[in-house]
Amino acid sequence: MSERTPPRVLALMLCFLGLFVLVGTGLLLYGRRQLNLARAAESWPTVEAVIVSSELVVEDDTVSEDETVETYGADIVFTYTIDGVSYRSGRVSFGSYRSSDIGHAYAIIERYPVGATVAAHYDPADPSSAVLEPGYAAGITLFFVVGGLFAGAGSILFIMTVVSEVRSG
């Protein structure tokens, strides 16, 4: 017969695993919201917008104590007017992401040079919400993958810990 885990250690383990489940569930819910908005934006009305800023963003992400990796993104800002009210947005797509591939960022910057006139899709219920590229974007998948891994692994380990404790006495 195996020994029981001390109550304090067991409580900490279950809290940690519960936190994994909560973080995973939060990521899944956020991903679902982004997916729903991306799909809804496909039917939003369009308005003429002007690109006012189109820049490369470079960030250093720490991978380990000794290593950092540069990631690249496109910071695109556009303005548009609806019913005489001016708005400003920076959303290219739902699920936009930074990448270690600088070409990904440059491709977005090239599509949206400063001064270009483009079509922006805006939410008729909230005109301050607009996007240049409606519909599904690959970045949304990341929320589902990471969220599913966290929620799934946390749930399985939580259940295994409880079952193990029940069996040990």
What is the tens place of the pLDDT at every residue in 76-111? 999 999 999 999 999 999 877 778 889 989 999 999
81 and 125 together in one domain: yes
29 and 65 together in one domain: no
Question: Long-range contact list for 36-39, CB < 8 A, 24+ apart?
Answer: 37/94, 38/93, 38/94, 38/95, 38/131, 38/134, 38/135, 38/136, 38/137, 38/140, 39/135, 39/136
Query: How does residue 127 score in pLDDT terms, banded at 50, 70 and 90?
Result: very high
Check residues 154 and 7 and name the one with the higher pLDDT.
Answer: 154
Domain that holds residue 112: 45-134
Query: How does residue 2 score in pLDDT terms, banded at 50, 70 and 90?
Result: low
Average pLDDT score over residue span 116-139: 92
Q: What is the pLDDT of residue 1?
A: 45
54 and 123 together in one domain: yes
88 and 109 together in one domain: yes
DSSP string, 139-153: HHHHHHHHHHHHHHH
Q: What is the pLDDT of residue 76?
A: 97
Structural domains of the chain, count: 2
Residue 63, φ and ψ in degrees, nearest 5: -95, -40
81 and 127 together in one domain: yes
3 and 49 together in one domain: no
